[in-house]
Amino acid sequence: GKELDGEPTVTVRAVNSRKNQMCFDWGPGRLLVSNEPPSNKKEMCSCPFIYIIRKDVDRIDERLTGKIQKSQLVRVSKNYRSVIRACMEECTSVFAAKDPANGRQFSSQVSILSAMELIWNLCEILFIEVAPAGPLLLHLLDWVRLHVCEVDSLSADVLGSENPSKHDSFWNLGVDGMTSHGWSLPYTFATSPHLESLLKIMLGDEAALLEQKELLSNWYHFLVTRLLYSNPTVKPIDLHYYAQSSLDLFLGGESSPEPLDNILLAAFEFDIHQVIKECSIALSNWWFVAHLTDLLDHCKLLQSHNLYFGSNMREFLLLEYASGLFAHPSLWQLGVDYFDYCPELGRVSLELHIERIPLNTEQKALKVLRVCEQRQMTEQVRSICKILAMKAVRNNRLGSALSWSIRAKDAAFATLVSDRFLRDYCERGCFSDLDLIDNLGPAMMLSDRLTFLGKYREFHRMYGEKRFADAASLLLSLMTSRIAPRSFWMTLLTDALPLLEQKQVIFSAEQTYELMRCLEDLTSRRPVHGESDTEQLQDDDIETTKVEMLRLSLARNLARAIIREGSLEGS
């Protein structure tokens, strides 16, 4: 055999290998096989290569994929119904065991959940599970038996009695079993006077069936029973006619249809959009319609229905449900996931709702921040960090404020916090949050003031490590580069005093001249780089004493530096 497209093929003997006359034949697995023609017409190949030509697998794959997807969607739908039934059971147990005082409220919730499960199950049958030629009535019988019949409990009650045929509900059991389970006529009924009524029901007599109306819990129970005995092969297209007439016959003009009746009628009419509309009006929240619409959209039943403002119905309902989740203090994180599954407007909606979340605690703020960072929501990240930085400043937590301002990449606020750090240093004589300042790294380049803060802390670290020459160079560069705020110059010059008084000459003559120039610039009261006069040196006694000490120390150091440098040149 010869391999095509990397797949092994199967060698099949030619029909007439001597004459090499085989053109094609069906091979294993219903594959078309064809021999390779010889390159030379005169050449006869005793064992020609066999090519395998596959059938149109795309269509087969599409049908197979469709079946698999359908089964998966049905399974998902049943999981949703399981969730609804679990909620019903929980509400019932809470009502029965813990809070009988609020019975009306729990009863109402159970009724709503029961209606949800009833509608969902019918939509599952009509829109997802049953093919156009599928066993529709069998599914409807299961639907009625699951939701509205109590045959099993009634049967256990009757058959468990000492004399079942004398039980008050014996005949009711027979009618109920026929109308919901499709029971055939049992032999215990053969000689009973009620046999005629049962036979009429089996023959599809609507009047006889309506006489047993009290045993039929509602009109759709009547509908399924009517179809079972009058038209068991009903086509889906005829369901709406039977549903409407069954409702009219059952109500008999005595009452008006309830919202649930309108929803079920729309389902029997296969009007998906009307079902969704009626459910949106009748039910108490968006959970049901959002998830049902999402499931139907995955079944490709809503592709043609777009809303006028650009979003489709699935996305609109998911957005509404997610918005409701954001209004809850602890469910907003679930809303984030729903917004993520809305490709058109989900991102914009999430940005708007994220900004409205109250950041009551730093833990909650970190959760919100993580959501924004995972989705590259830069503006929201910056806004949240700035809010947290402002809160930290108000609480005098400068380290936290600086950390948040750096995370927000807010240069102006980082400058403000840096100024607070410097002012705090001037008042206390030491820095707070040293670990943060020591590990600023590249973040110190966010603003000039933050750069100065980091470098000034580095100067102190060098001084503590007795790296006096490096410390002196850094101190001078902070002043000559004008990174240091003018209001802090006197502090820097004062920091230079211990270095000027060292036994070893630390500042060179040129460096000493630079320090003198800075001191004169500071005391001359000339504005520097547009700074106002209020930021100038305050001429008081203390400052005057500092200036005189600095001038004396600078002059002494200059003399020592000149002598030292002259001696080095002479040698």
Note the pLDDT tens digit of each residue in 319-337: 999 999 998 888 999 999 9
Q: Which of 171-175, 355-359, 522-526 has the lowest mean pLDDT?
A: 171-175
SS3 state at 178:
helix
Question: Which two three-digit tokens encode residue 111?
Answer: 């009724």
Whether 38 shows a pLDDT value over 50: the answer reads no
Question: Which two three-digit tokens encode residue 490?
Answer: 């006197």
Mean pLDDT taken over the chain = 78
Identify the band that residue 266 occupies on the pLDDT scale cut at 50, 70 and 90: very high
Quick one: pLDDT at residue 426?
80
SS3 state at 119:
helix
Quick one: pLDDT at residue 334?
94
Quick one: pLDDT at residue 303?
67
Q: What is the dihedral of CA 251, 252, 254, 256, to 10 degrees?
A: 50
Quick one: pLDDT at residue 159?
56
Whether 197 shows a pLDDT value over 90: the answer reads no
Q: Has this prediction a pTM greater than 0.85?
A: no
Whether 55 shows a pLDDT value over 60: the answer reads no
The DSSP code sequence of 459-490 is: HHHHHHTT-HHHHHHHHHHHHHTT-S-GGGHH
Q: Which of 188-192, 339-343, 353-357, 391-395 has the lowest mean pLDDT?
A: 188-192
CB-based contacts of 397-406 (< 8 A; 24+ apart in sequence): 398/424, 398/432, 398/433, 399/432, 399/433, 399/436, 402/433, 402/436, 402/450, 403/436, 406/440, 406/443, 406/446, 406/450
Length of the chain as a residue count:
571
Whether 47 shows a pLDDT value over 70: the answer reads no
Identify the band that residue 108 occupies on the pLDDT scale cut at 50, 70 and 90: confident
In the chain, DSSP finds a helix count (H) and a strand count (E) of 25, 3
Quick one: pLDDT at residue 145?
82
Measured distance CA(183)–CA(189) in Å, rounded: 12
Q: How many CB atoms lie within 10 A of CB 327?
A: 11
**Per-residue burial over 354-382, b = 16 or more CB atoms within 10 Å of its CB, e = otherwise:** beebebeeeeebebbbebbeebebeebbe
Identify the band that residue 557 occupies on the pLDDT scale cut at 50, 70 and 90: confident
Q: What single DSSP character describes residue 153? A: H
Please give the average per-residue pLDDT across 115-121, as a whole number: 92
pLDDT tens, 60-69? 455 556 666 8
Whether 536 shows a pLDDT value over 50: the answer reads no
Whether 501 shows a pLDDT value over 80: the answer reads yes
Question: Which two three-digit tokens encode residue 194?
Answer: 């009620």
Identify the band that residue 490 occupies on the pLDDT scale cut at 50, 70 and 90: confident
Quick one: pLDDT at residue 336?
95
Choose between 139 and 565: higher pLDDT: 139
Alpha-carbon distance values, 521 to 367, 469, 489, 496, 557 (Å): 51, 24, 10, 16, 19
Whether 74 shows a pLDDT value over 80: the answer reads yes
Identify the band that residue 11 occupies on the pLDDT scale cut at 50, 70 and 90: very low
Alpha-carbon distance values, 501 to 507, 551, 552, 558, 568 (Å): 10, 12, 11, 11, 21
Q: Which of 476, 488, 565, 474 is nearest to 522 (CA)?
A: 488
The segment with the largest mean pLDDT, out of 155-159, 207-211, 259-263, is: 259-263
Measured distance CA(224)–CA(317) in Å, rounded: 32
Q: Which of 391-395, 491-495, 558-562, 567-571 has the lowest mean pLDDT?
A: 567-571
Quick one: pLDDT at residue 377?
92
Quick one: pLDDT at residue 204?
77
Q: Would you put residue 165 in left (φ > 0), alpha (ψ -120 to 50) or beta?
A: alpha
Q: Which residues contact 247 (CB under 8 A, 6 or more apart)?
A: 219, 223, 257, 261, 265
pLDDT tens, 132-148? 555 788 888 888 888 87
Q: Which of 32-41, 108-117, 437-446 has the lowest mean pLDDT?
A: 32-41
Is the Cβ–Cβ distance between 530 and 537 less than 8 Å? no
Identify the band that residue 487 occupies on the pLDDT scale cut at 50, 70 and 90: confident
Q: How many CB atoms lie within 10 A of CB 331?
A: 12
CA-based end-to-end distance of the chain = 95
Choose between 337 and 32: higher pLDDT: 337
Identify the band that residue 294 occupies on the pLDDT scale cut at 50, 70 and 90: very high
Quick one: pLDDT at residue 162?
59
Q: Provide the residue ranges of all domains of the chain, joining segments of one domain with +.
A: 485-524+537-570
Quick one: pLDDT at residue 445?
86
Please give the average per-residue pLDDT across 363-374, as a whole number: 92
The DSSP code sequence of 492-527 is: HHHHHHHHHTSSS--S-HHHHHHHHHHHHHHHTT--
